[in-house]
Structure 1
Amino acid sequence: MTLQISDADGVRTVTLDRPEALNAFNEALYDATTVALREADADPSVAVVLLTGAGRAFSAGNDLNEMAARVTDPDFQPGEHGFPGLMEALLELRKPLVCAVNGLAVGIGTTILGYADLVFMSTTARLKCPFTSLGVAPEAASSYLLPQLMGRQNAAWLLMSSEWVSATDAQRMGIAWKLCEPDQLLDEARTHAAVLASRPISSLMAVKETIVEPTRDEVKAAIAREYAKFEVLLGSAANADALAAFADRGQA
């Protein structure tokens, strides 16, 4: 099982559940999360979606073993929905998305926050976008969404440096709304999610639509630009060297 799903007070909590892999997204987790978001969107009893992670990570990003297999294994089988399906589900989600970042958030673990309506972050959590250290391009429309959310310079540092960003700096930059002590994170996120869920779902959806609709085409265009760059860079010398170094560390 790659997800835990529970409902309470109109809030559907979706917990990424690959703790042994720090909740890294493989094809199975992309598929399961895509389905979970679509089902929550369609369920009239769900008003708000709360996304968090099991264990010490929110998500360690893309599963680099699968990334390497995508380049080197001619028999690699992508998932039914995969990364593109998750992007579509996030962009089309009509209900508020609350993220509770419980620990390490790398790559997609960070860029997914660009789709959140509220982000709660543990004081011990950290963010990283390791695109340049992997020799690849941004993803998830982060090249568009993060400058909109954080300002160009904050987004440039996050997307270009491949350095860790602390919870305090994440809040200062504008990507985290509230910081919480680790043992209070879920309670705080659920309390705020329940406040939203107490409002009429039709009104919540109308507010979200008016926020998202003006930028929907720009997000889709950003994803297309990033795909084009990613396709060129995936498997390049810099990317191959980075993945080989990762594999070597895993075998050490």
Structure 2
Amino acid sequence: MSLLIEDRNRVRTLTLDRPDALNAFNEALYDATTDALRAAADDPGVAVVLLTGNGRAFSAGTDLLEMHARATDPGFVPGRHGFVGLLDALVDLPKPLVCAVNGVGLGIGATVLGFADLAFMSTTARLKCPFTSLGVAPEAASSYLLPRLVGRQDAAWALLSAEWITAAEALEMGLVWRVCEPDDLLPEARRHAEVLAARPISSLVAVKRTMTEPLRAGIDAARQRENAAFAELMGGPANLEALTAFAEGREPDFTSLPPGW
């Protein structure tokens, strides 16, 4: 099982559990997490969802080996929900989402914070939005949510540079709410989640709805723009060079690509 589920004091903790793969999302993990978020949304005994990772990573994002197979193998069979299904579940989650970033977060392991109502991060964790280093476009409505969360220039740096963001930088720019020592991270995240979970679920849902409903149209439009750009770039020269370099264990070389790429 690639996802651990635990209930305590009306908090449902979802722990990404592919530590050998740095909790990267393969199709099975996308499906399991989507199902778990939908189940939590529908469960009247769950007030808050806490998302974290097992091992030294929060999530390394989409599994690049599967991404390479998707781009090159006509026989690749996707999961039931996939990346799109996970995003739908995050957008539709009516209850507070608390993220505890325990380690490395790349791609969706970073952009998921745009959907977090509270985000905690270990002092030893790092985040990266690696889109330009993969020759693709932003995802998860990050082109809309990140500028709202951290401001245009911090968002531009995160999305354009594909450079690492430290915990201190994430806190300073407002990408996370609290930074904790590694051993304190999960207890602190759980303590705050349980404070929320002690409130009436109906009120929690109402507060979150009134905060997020004005963003729905912007999120939907951003996802459409990102999907179009991603489809245009996926499998293109830059993306194939990046994925091939990853499979070969080397750094990509974008300097020899055709003009415009």
Task: Give the Cα separation in 2 of the matches to 1:175 and 1:35.
Answer: 26
Q: Distance in 2 between matches of 1:105 and 1:156?
A: 18
For 2:207, give the aligned amino acid: V
Instruction: Report the counterpart of residue 128 of structure 1 in structure 2.
Output: 128
Partner of 1:35: 35
Residue 189 of structure 1 is matched in structure 2 by: 189
1:123 CA displacement? 0.4
TM score, norm. by length of structure 2: 0.95
TM-score w.r.t. the length of structure 1 is 0.98
| Identity among equivalent pairs (%) | 68
Equivalent residue of 2:214, what SS?
A: helix
Aligned to 1:50, the other structure's residue is in SS state strand
User: C-alpha separation between the residues in 1 aligned to 2:242 and 2:88?
Assistant: 29
State the match for 2:6 in structure 1: 6
Q: Which residue of 1 aligns with 2:119?
A: 119
Equivalent-residue separation in structure 1 for 2:139 and 2:29 (angstroms) = 17
**Paired residue type of 1:163:** E
SS in 1 for 2:249: helix
Matched, 1:70 2:58: no
Distance 1:248 1:139 in 2: 25
* Paired residues for 1:92-171 under 5 Å: 92-171=92-171
The alpha-carbon deviation at position 98 of structure 1 amounts to 0.0
Q: Report the CA distance between 1:4 and its aligned residue.
A: 0.2
What residue number does 2:205 align with? Answer: 205
Q: How far apart are 1:199 and its partner, in Å? A: 0.3
- Specify the SS of the correspondent of 2:65: helix
Tell me which amino acid in the other structure corresponds to 2:44.
P
**Partner residue in 2 for 1:232:** 232
Whole-angstrom distance in 2 between the partners of 1:175 and 1:37: 22
Match for residue 52 of structure 2?
A: 52
1:186 Cα offset (Å): 0.3
Task: Note the 1:78-97 alignment, pairs <5 A.
Answer: 78-97=78-97
CA distance in 1, matches of 2:239, 2:202: 45
Provide, for residues 211-247 of structure 1, a one-character-per-residue CA deviation record: whole Å limited to 9, x for no partner. 0100101101111110000001001111111111100
Residues in 2 aligned to 1:71 and 1:175: alpha-carbon distance in whole angstroms = 31
- Give 1:77 shift: 0.6
Could you say what secondary structure the match of 1:136 adopts?
coil
The DSSP-based 3-state class of the residue aligned with 2:79 is: coil
* 2:178 is equivalent to residue 178 of structure 1: yes
| 1:33-52 C-alpha deviation (Å, 9 max, x unpaired) | 00000000000000000000
Letter in 2 for 1:208: K
**Where does structure 1 differ by over 4 angstroms across 4 or more consecutive aligned residues?**
none
1:142-162 deviation digits (Å, cap 9, x = unpaired): 000000000000000000001
Q: Match for residue 257 of structure 2?
A: none
| Paired amino acid for 2:181 | E
Q: What SS does the corresponding residue of 1:224 show, helix, strand or coil?
A: helix
Structure 2 unaligned regions, length at least 5: 251-261
Are residues 1:22 and 2:43 paired? no
Q: Deviation of residue 58 (structure 1)?
A: 0.2
Deviation of 1:53 after TM superposition, in Å, equals 0.2
> Which whole-Å deviations, capped at 9, do the CAs of 1:9-29 have from their partners, x for residues lacking one?
010000000001000011111
How far apart are the structure 2 equivalents of 1:221 and 1:181? 38
1:68-115: CA deviations, max 9, x gaps? 111110000111000110111000000000000000000100001100
- Any idea what SS the aligned residue of 1:98 has? strand
**Aligned equivalents of 2:78 and 2:145: distance in 1?**
26
Matches of 1:143 and 1:175 in 2, distance apart? 14
